[in-house]
Amino acid sequence: MGMKATEETATGEHAGGRSADGSEASPATGAFPLPATSLVSRFEEVVRRQPGTVALTLGGKAWSYAELNASANRVAHRLLGRELPANSIVALWLGRNFEAISVILGIPKAGHTYLPLDATYPVARIVQTLEDAQPALVIAEPELAAKLVGDDIATGAANILLVSDALSDTGAEEGNPDVATKADALAYVIYTSGSTGQPKGVCVTHTNVLRLLDQTSARFEFNERDIWTLFHSLAFDFSVWEMWGALLHGATLVPVPYEVTRSPEDFYRLLSEERVTVLNQTPSAFSLLSQVEDRGTLLPLGLRLVIFGGEALQFAGLKSWFSRHDDTRPQLVNCFGITETTVHVTTRNVTQADALFERDSLLGEPIADLRIHLCRPDGQLVAEGEIGEIFVAGAGVARGYLHRPELTAERFVPELVSSSGLNSDGGRMYRSGDLARRRRDGELVYLGRRDQQVKINGFRIELGEVEAALCSSPGVLQACVRPHQTGPGATQLAAYVVPAAGEQVRMTVLAASLAKELPPQMLPAFYTTLPALPLTPNGKVDFKALPAPRQEQLSTGSQEAEAGSEIEQAVLKLVREVVGSQSVGLEDNFFTVGGHSLLGTQFVMRARRAFGVKLTLRDIFETDSVSGIAGVIEELILAEIDAMPEEEALRLSGEPAARGGLAP
């Protein structure tokens, strides 16, 4: 089902099959005409309409739209003076500030494509990206530029321009450059991590971004009275939505300094002081923000929208927020999105009822000019209710990967219209690697990444499903689950749990609760309590920064002998031997103290030899405790006695423990 790699795919020419003037609908969008303008033209329209409106503000400093436009024009004219090849890639290695926004606007004003680099990334990662992208120029802050000096990439593939020089007004013009940027030209390239360790640059056009804003503007009622935050790294595509969403609606944008994004208390205060109305957050970052209120800090907020993206949203984690705020002001919205399909794909309002009763991570409906298909690994559509990989088609699908025609052909493929044929109009779809299923009520349930699907003792497990169960447990604010190798070929699940404010999660109770809801192979063997989950600069969970899992006390027993019948004592001794823990108690569940299906099979075989009964693995699955297993064995022993000849039964009656001694 791979798409044939063409010169257009490799070089990045427009693949939508439409004229540049936008007069016809693209085959990939059906009834939705594509924008016929560029981001630059749309921004300059806003400047003409409201030049005196505040475009950027932070801590008392403010730039009007006219001032921002003049600053961006200085950058553009400086770039034009360098006579770079048309449609060049220009990288910027800058923090989130007024100057960085001027540079981002100035690059397309000069007819080029911007490539944002994260100011917090290590030099090795930056060099790796620059070597792959081969930009014509790097605009950087002095301290960051100094890190590249002497490196081959700095002196060879790219020139370096200090941001102060780029913004200098000495002799630079401030009028709009006479550059006609086409709607289907590349707007930006943003790099995402690659499964092979090699980052890949996603090529997104002006059309891709503009149609996103056009299709969502009415739904969110964006207007010039809104105040947005630019919270996310410029190298994270959520920033595209934040920056262009604010500026192309004539709203005010607040660039949040990096150190403030790392302090939930300071960021919460900023939201109040700046009277922010539109907040975009990953669920992990918002959870930290909500905890500020949990700890008793309550300031007046002007929020009307909180839009989630970047991670799966577990609705149960919003209970504490909804205990203080209603579910319409601000309106919380869950968005599923992919860099390769231009930020957002679906939207769904989140209600208090969702937080209280909904276990699934629901994605809502696709944006009007996008389509979602759930497919099997062979590319055919799944049956109703089955899990499938999310394929996204429509006007948001990016051009492809920079300098990676083979990978582009692998991931951007012809659109399916049925299980037996291809779309004849040449539309494309992106295979996301995300898994979902559609419920009977039509809701799309997110089930995590395809590469988050792990195999434990032969069972395929979706980590997102286990995380959802944890987050729905009493007292749990956040949770994540990772596979942990415990030995050669042996893997178990490790859970990391963040308790809600004022809550103390008892792992024994939590593990027992999960055991009633999830099959044994999905139960974590390790539980680690954390004050908060570590986050990446993009606000997502930083899995690499999680500590090594530890086994917190889950059992009720100890090394001392517990009261109980002889059979209970014998079963307890055998369970302790099989799971390798002397702290297992009679009331513990086999699968919450380190047991799994393979150890369960081992226990069953040893119990059959020891007690002479036909115990099954299902018997272990269906009992809540070691004591319960002993009860099943005792019932099997009594059943065998009942089936014996009368003389043999009389000899053994009253002595069931005689068959309870462990065989050597």
How do residues 216-249 score in pLDDT, each as one tens digit?
A: 999 999 999 999 999 999 999 999 999 999 999 9
Least confident of 372-376, 405-409, 424-428: 424-428
How do residues 528-538 score in pLDDT, each as one tens digit?
A: 888 888 888 77
Banded model confidence at residue 68, pLDDT cuts 50, 70, 90 = very high
Banded model confidence at residue 89, pLDDT cuts 50, 70, 90 = very high
**pLDDT at position 26:** 36
Q: Which residues, 6+ apart, have CB-to-CB distance to 179 below 8 Å?
A: 40, 76, 80, 109, 110, 111
Section 417-425 average pLDDT? 51
Indicate the helix (H) or strand (E) that contains 641: helix 626-643
Q: Which amino acid is at 648?
A: E
Over 50: is that where the pLDDT of 458 sits? Answer: no
Domains and CATH numbers, the chain: 65-181 (3.40.50.980), 457-545 (3.30.300.30), 566-659 (1.10.1200.10)
Banded model confidence at residue 566, pLDDT cuts 50, 70, 90 = confident
Banded model confidence at residue 122, pLDDT cuts 50, 70, 90 = confident
Section 78-89 average pLDDT? 94
**pLDDT at position 52:** 98
**pLDDT at position 87:** 93
**pLDDT at position 23:** 24
CA distance 115 to 113: 7
- Token pair listed for 189: 């390239």
Between 502 and 16, residue with greater pLDDT: 502
**pLDDT at position 638:** 82
- Token pair listed for 230: 């630019």
Over 50: is that where the pLDDT of 66 sits? Answer: yes
How do residues 272-330 score in pLDDT, each as one tens digit?
A: 999 999 999 988 889 889 989 998 999 999 999 999 998 889 899 899 999 999 999 99
- Token pair listed for 197: 């360790």
CA distance 452 to 448: 6
Q: Judge contact between 103 and 73, C-beta under 8 A.
A: no
What is the value of pTM for the model shown?
A: 0.71
Least confident of 150-164, 250-264, 607-621: 150-164
Banded model confidence at residue 64, pLDDT cuts 50, 70, 90 = very high
Least confident of 43-47, 69-73, 178-182, 608-612: 608-612
Over 80: is that where the pLDDT of 58 sits? Answer: yes
**pLDDT at position 115:** 98
How do residues 618-652 score in pLDDT, each as one tens digit?
A: 788 778 788 889 989 988 888 877 776 666 655 55
- Token pair listed for 469: 């169960």
Q: What share of the chain is helix, strand, coil (3-state, %, to 5)?
A: 35, 20, 40
Mean pLDDT of the chain: 83
**pLDDT at position 222:** 98
Any idea which residue has 């806003």 for tokens? 46
**pLDDT at position 148:** 84
How do residues 174-208 score in pLDDT, each as one tens digit?
A: 899 999 999 999 999 999 865 444 779 999 999 99
Indicate the helix (H) or strand (E) that contains 64: strand 61-64
**pLDDT at position 20:** 24
Q: Which of 475-514 are b and which e, b meaning 16 or more Cβ less than 10 Å from the residue's Cβ?
A: ebbbbbbbebeeeeeebbbbbbbbbbeeeebebbebbbbb
Q: What is the DSSP letter of 525?
A: S
Over 70: is that where the pLDDT of 252 sits? Answer: yes
- Most confident by average pLDDT, 56-65, 122-131, 627-636: 56-65
Q: What is the secondary structure of 66-108 as a DSSP string?
A: HHHHHHHHHHHHHHHHTTPPTT-EEEEE--SSHHHHHHHHHHH
Burial class of residue 231 (count of CB atoms within 10 Å of its CB; 0-12, 13-18, 19+)? buried
- Token pair listed for 572: 């307890």
Over 70: is that where the pLDDT of 166 sits? Answer: yes
CA distance 258 to 271: 15
Rounded CA Rg of the chain: 30
